[in-house]
C-alpha cells in the first residue's frame, strides 16, 4: 500500500531541482561523470537489496536515489552540450518501440529481443560491459548464443551437460589429487589450472541449466547464500546455547546441529 504521507512530485520537479543544485550548490556543481561512478554503483546495490527484501518503502527511496544519478548525468551532459534529459528519454522510447515491433510496428508476431539484436551484432560479446559479474556474464553470453539458434530445445541437454562436466571434475581430481593446501589456498602446482578449468566448465553448465529452467543463476545463488547464512547462524546460536564453540566443535558435532536446523525449517 502506498504511503500517502510521502511527498509527491513530478519528473519535471526532479529535473528542475537537479538543475538548480548544479547552479547553486558547490558540491553538486563540482561533480563529473567520472566522480559520480562510485555513487551510481552504490545506489544500484542498495536498490538491489531493497528489491530482494521486498521492502516497498526502501524500494521507493532507492529508486529515487538511482533516478538522482540518472538525472545528474543527464544534466551534466546537457551542460556540456552533448545531450540532455529529453534525449535520454527519447533513447528509452525509441528502444522500447524497437524492441516491441508487434506493438508499435508492422510485425504481427513477437520476436525474442536477442534474435533481433543478433542481426546487428558483430560479435557475441559486443556491447557487454567489461565489469559484469562473471555469473551474469555467463548468463548473457548464453542468451546471446541462443539468440542465433545455438541452444538446446529444453532442460534435458543442460542436465546431461552438467552431469558430463561433473564427471570430468571428478576425473581431474582423481588423476591429480587435490591441488589446494589445508587452508584452501590455490596451489602453485600447474595441475591447479587444469582443475580450475574443469570447475569453470561445470559452473558454466549449471548457469546454462538455470537459464533453460527459467531461473537467473545470480538470483538462485543469492537465495542459496541467504539460506546458508540463516541456517549457519542458527547453528551458531544452538551451539552456543549448548556450550559448544563452533571453531573447535568439529564437523561431526556441527553437522548434527545443521540437520536439526534443516528439520526444524521443514516442519514449519
Let me know whether 177 and 193 are in one domain.
yes
When pLDDT is cut at 50, 70 and 90, the band that residue 1 belongs to is very low
Residue 119 lies in a domain: no
Per the model's pLDDT, the better-predicted residue between 65 and 5 turns out to be 65
CA 250 to chain centre: 34
- Alpha-carbon 176 to chain mean position: 34
Residue 180, helix vs strand vs coil:
strand
**Tens of pLDDT along 101-151?**
889 988 888 777 666 666 666 788 887 888 888 999 999 999 999 988 999
Over residues 41-91, the pLDDT tens digits come to 899 999 999 999 999 999 999 999 999 999 999 999 999 999 999 999 999
Indicate the pTM of the whole model.
0.69
Give residue 265's pLDDT: 94
Cell digits for 268? 514449519
Distance between CA 125 and CA 132 in Å, rounded? Answer: 11
Is residue 189 domain-shared with residue 203, that is, in the same domain?
yes
Over 80: is that where the pLDDT of 195 sits?
yes
DSSP-based three-state secondary structure for 186: strand
Within this chain, do residues 82 and 51 fall inside the same structural domain, yes or no?
yes
Q: Which of 87, 76, 88, 84 is nearest to 21 (CA)?
A: 76
Q: Does 140 reside within a domain?
A: no
Q: What is the residue whose three cell numbers read 570447475?
A: 199
Tell me if 42 is assigned to some domain. yes
Average pLDDT over residues 149-171: 96
DSSP string for 75-127 = HHHHHHTS--HHHHHHHHHHHHHHH-HHHHSS--S---HHHHHHTT-SSTTTT
| Cell output for 153 | 530445445
CB atoms within 10 A of CB 73: 19
CB 138 within 8 A of CB 217: yes
Final residue before a domain boundary, out of 69, 99, 129: 99
Q: Please give the residue that has the higher pLDDT: either 168 or 118.
A: 168
Question: What is the per-residue pLDDT for 184?
Answer: 60
> Which residues, including other chains, have CB under 8 Å from residue 147's CB and lie 6 or more apart?
112, 114, 115, 117, 118
The DSSP-derived string for 207-260 is HHHHHHTT--HHHHHHHHHHHHHHHHHHHHHHHHHTT--TTTS-HHHHHHHHHH
Shared domain check, 252 and 223: yes
Q: Which of 215, 242, 259 is the last residue of a domain?
A: 215
- Extract the C-alpha cell encoding 182: 589445508
Residue 2 lies in a domain: no
Total domains present in the chain: 3
pLDDT tens digit string along 205-260? 999 999 999 999 998 999 999 999 999 999 999 999 999 999 999 999 999 999 99
Q: Are residues 259 and 210 in the same domain?
A: no
34 domain-assigned: yes
* Cell 536477442, residue located: 114
- Structural domain that includes position 229: 219-267
CATH number at residue 68: 1.10.287.1080
Amino acid at each position: 500500500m502506498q504511503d500517502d504521507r510521502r511527498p509527491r512530485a513530478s519528473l519535471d520537479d526532479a529535473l528542475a531541482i537537479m538543475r538548480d543544485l548544479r547552479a547553486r550548490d558547490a558540491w553538486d556543481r563540482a561533480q563529473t561523470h567520472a566522480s559520480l561512478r562510485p555513487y551510481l554503483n552504490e545506489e544500484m546495490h542498495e536498490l538491489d537489496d531493497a528489491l530482494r527484501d521486498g521492502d516497498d518503502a526502501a524500494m521507493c527511496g532507492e529508486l529515487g536515489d538511482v533516478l538522482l544519478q540518472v538525472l545528474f548525468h543527464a544534466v551534466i551532459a546537457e551542460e556540456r552540450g552533448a545531450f540532455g534529459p529529453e534525449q535520454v528519454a527519447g533513447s528509452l522510447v525509441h528502444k522500447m518501440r524497437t524492441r516491441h515491433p508487434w506493438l508499435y510496428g508492422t510485425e504481427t508476431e513477437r520476436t525474442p529481443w536477442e534474435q533481433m539484436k543478433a542481426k546487428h551484432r558483430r560479435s557475441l560479446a559486443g556491447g557487454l560491459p567489461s565489469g559484469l559479474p562473471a555469473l551474469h556474464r555467463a548468463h548473457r553470453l548464453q542468451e546471446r548464443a541462443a539468440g542465433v539458434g545455438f541452444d538446446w530445445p529444453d532442460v534435458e541437454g543442460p542436465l546431461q551437460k552438467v552431469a558430463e562436466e561433473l564427471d570430468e571434475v571428478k576425473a581431474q581430481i582423481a588423476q591429480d589429487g587435490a591441488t589446494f593446501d589445508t587452508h584452501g589456498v590455490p596451489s602453485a602446482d600447474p595441475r591447479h589450472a587444469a582443475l580450475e578449468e574443469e570447475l569453470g566448465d561445470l559452473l558454466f553448465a549449471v548457469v546454462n541449466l538455470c537459464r533453460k529452467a527459467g531461473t537467473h543463476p545470480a538470483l538462485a545463488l543469492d537465495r542459496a547464500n541467504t539460506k546458508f547464512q540463516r541456517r549457519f547462524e542458527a547453528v551458531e546460536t544452538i551451539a552456543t546455547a549448548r556450550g559448544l564453540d563452533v571453531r573447535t566443535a568439529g564437523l561431526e558435532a556441527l553437522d548434527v546441529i545443521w540437520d536439526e536446523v534443516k528439520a526444524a525449517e521443514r516442519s514449519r
